[in-house]
Structures are given as C-alpha cells and as structure tokens.
Amino acid sequence: MKYSYVSHLYCPKCSSTYSTKDQQQLCTCGSPLLVAYDMEGIKKNLTPDHLKDRKPDLWRYHELLPVEDESNVVSLGEGMTPLVHLPRLGDAMSLENLYIKDEGLVPTGSFKARGAAVGVSKAKELGVEALAMPTNGNAGAAWALYAARAGIRSTIVMPEDAPEITRNEVAISGADLYLVNGLISDAGKIVGSAVKDQELYDVSTLKEPYRIEGKKTMGLEIAEQFGFTMPDVILYPTGGGVGLIGIHKALKELRTLGWVKGDLPRLVAVQASGCAPIVKAWEAGERESEFWHDSETKAFGINVPKALGDFLVLDALYETDGCAIAIDDTEMLREQKHVANLEGNFVCPEGAAAFAAARRLRENGWLAEDEKVVVLNTGAGIKYPDTVDIDPIMLEKGDVLPK
Ligand SMILES: Cc1ncc(COP(=O)(O)O)c(C=O)c1O
Ligand SMILES: [Zn+2]
C-alpha cells in the first residue's frame, strides 16, 4: 500500500493542473494551488478501522497527506489534540453541546505546527534547502523550529508587535529573524522581493500548496473524534483563513470517501472588529475581500488585512450556509476569562474571539441550544501573557492572608 495517494495540484480558479514532483508556488493566474488525491485508490485500500492501531498524531492520515516517502516526515508529535465537552461554559451560553478543539497542546503552542509539519516535510521531499516567510508570529515560530529539525535554513520576517515569545522561538531555532515596523502585509512585501533575489522557497500563507494539508487534519480529527459523524457548527478564528479552508477540504474529502454522510457543518469565520475584511465581504455577499486599512487587534494571529485565499474562505461559508462575525477586543478578553474561570482552559485571544462569537450567535438565535458546536482554540493562552492584567496583593515575609 502506498504511503500517500497524492495525485496532482490544481487551481481552484482556472483549473490548471501541476505536478507534485516539483517545487510549486502559485498558479500562473495568481491563485493558490490545492492538492488532489486518488480518492478511488484510498477508498479501495483504507477504512476508518485501519486508523485504530495508528499513532495519535496527524500522520495517521498519511494516505490523505502529500508526503510520498515516509522517511521525509519531519515530526515533533503534532496532532490528535483533545476535543473536550465544556458543560459549564455551555450552560452559561445556553449551548448544551459546546466543545473545544484545543490546539494549545501541540508542539510550538499553536495549530501552526500542523501546517509546518506537513509543509516542511514536503519541502524536504522536494529538495528545498532554504525557505522564507512573513508571519504574525506563531507560523514563523512553527516553521523555523520544524525547518531546524529538517536541516533546512529559514528566514522569518514578523511585525515588531507580534507576540514576543514567537521571536524567541524563531531565534532559538537558528533561523534568520527580522522584525518590521508594520503589518504582516509589509513583511510579505519584503519576503516577496527576497525570494526572487536569493532563491528562497516562499512559504508565505497559501503561496505553497501544502500548509493547508497540515491544517486539514484538524477537520479529519474532529470527524474521527466524533466517531465519523459531523458536528453542526465549527467556529474558527480567521486571519489568512488556511485552517478554515483546510477543515472544509477535509470534510469534503471524507464525504467523498463515504466516511461521513450528510450536510457539512456550518462554518463560521470569526474575526476581530479591528480587522474584519472577510466579515465585511460576507455581509455584502461578495466573493472576495478588500484590504482592511489601519487594522488593529490584540488577537494578533487574525490581524490579516487581506488574505490571498479570501475567495476560498468565502466559498466555504456560502457552501456550508455558515457566516462571518466580528468580535471586539473587550468582548474577546472578557470571554477569555470566562473560559478560564469555568473550564480551566487558558485559551489564546484568537480562540477567545471564537468563544465570544458562539455566545453572540446563540444570543441572536443563529445557533440552537442543542446543536453540536466546536470552537477551535488555535493556540495556548500562555503564549500571550500580556493579555491578562492582574494586580495581586503583595505580602511581606511573615504576613497573614487577609480574610
Ligand atoms: C493563534 C492563531 N489563531 C488563528 C490564526 C489565523 O490562522 P489562519 O491563517 O488559518 O486564518 C493565527 C495565525 O497567525 C494564529 O496564530
Ligand atoms: Zn489558476
């Protein structure tokens, strides 16, 4: 049996196809490329039962991933994160079946490890020696560390305001780290000219086709963890939108295989009020978004003024009857406290935004009380120590605790 049933790359805009044997970036028409598989081959050779004896990491789905030779897999044990019922928070929101898919528990502390594991592994398979990327922090941290494990050089450019810990993760991996006084879009322009001048493989969001495949495994896991049934709704904090596009792709692939049946979950793109281009486009019924000027939010990972794959995110929302919603920072940080108070989970601000969105969508009736709702917490709260303001009482030696 083959390790991977990858067949080719295709363009979702103009339908051109490309080989997976060469290093590819965007389609000649400018669109991101997506990965296709020999689904008939997988159908014949794989059933959900085969998964039972496999390791609990994302490589358990290797037939549906693009790495062809197992020896190229670069892994730190990523994947199969907990899917946990949240009864107390659910009670407070009037949602009986509220779940967290907790991506704070992967190597490097965010779901970006999934994209990096698969992206770096495929880069290794294709002979890449040096890569470069702009990042809001977490992706750069993940790619730099996975590249270090693969023996690939990396150059990472991030806004100077990105979470400080992500700088340290990049620096300690030995990558070349640059800070820019600007946004991820400014970092992207700098990387764009560097890749041309210095022959670096450009692994910017969606400029290589394989990161989506890693993030797709969140969708595969959610389905498997629910016994190959689908929840009603999945809420996802959306910046570049790769996770949402990946989850949508995963569930469609499982349906093609006949492993899940029925309607796909309604997908919800959650953004910050200070940077909500997808929400604006969805509200206007548009198929693409416009650049969001002067964007600002404490949920740094979703501060993306214009996503290259915006049309794929919007397609996923329209196709699944989903929606897009913006949450302001005050509401987000309030929800972050609720999640920790009631469920003991210190979620990242991006994840907190998705919980606040669930609360609002229940309040306005978009979510029904008994629906099965999954919120993606995309990273660990401990990566963002500055989002919590505390004022503890200072004691002197020998003091007694106030009553
Ligand atoms: C914690 C966190 N959540 C969400 C996102 C948004 O990810 P995506 O590009 O998949 O929309 C990011 C991206 O940096 C992130 O770091
Ligand atoms: Zn094209």
Q: Listing from the earlier edge strand, what are the strands of the sheet with 17-18?
A: 17-18, 6-10, 34-37
Q: How far is the centre of ligand 1, averaged over its atoms, from the C-alpha of 98 (Å)?
A: 21
- Looking at residue 273, its amino acid is S
Encode burial over 317-342: b for 16+ CB neighbours within 10 A, e otherwise: beebebbbbbbebebbbebbebbbeb
Encode burial over 286-315: b for 16+ CB neighbours within 10 A, e otherwise: eeebeebeebebbbbbbbbbbbbbbbbbbe
Say how many residues make up the chain.
Answer: 403
- Looking at residue 73, its amino acid is V
Q: Is 90 exceeded by the pLDDT of residue 199?
A: no
When pLDDT is averaged across residues 294-303 and rounded to a whole number, the result is 95
Query: Per-residue confidence at 182, pLDDT binned at 50, 70, 90?
Result: very high
| Nearest atom in ligand 1 to 139's CA | 14
When pLDDT is averaged across residues 315-332 and rounded to a whole number, the result is 98
Query: Per-residue confidence at 1, pLDDT binned at 50, 70, 90?
Result: confident
**Any atom of ligand 1 within 6 Å of the Cβ of 139:** yes
**Any atom of ligand 1 within 6 Å of the Cβ of 243:** yes
Which pLDDT tens digit goes with each residue over 205-255?
999 999 999 999 999 999 999 999 999 999 999 999 999 999 999 999 999
| Nearest atom in ligand 1 to 135's CA | 14
**Pocket-testing residue among 292, 350, 355, 382, ligand 1, by greatest number of atoms within 8 A of Cβ:** 350
SS3 content of the chain, % helix, strand, coil (to 5): 45, 15, 40
pLDDT of residue 101: 98
- Closest by CA to 320, choosing from 199, 230, 201, 216, is 230
| Nearest atom in ligand 1 to 350's CA | 3
Q: What letter would DSSP give residue 110?
A: B
Which pLDDT tens digit goes with each residue over 45-83?
999 999 999 999 999 999 999 999 999 999 999 999 999
Q: Is 90 exceeded by the pLDDT of residue 114?
A: yes
Q: How far is the centre of ligand 1, averaged over its atoms, from the C-alpha of 135 (Å)?
A: 10
Contacts of 363 (CB under 8 A, 6+ apart): none
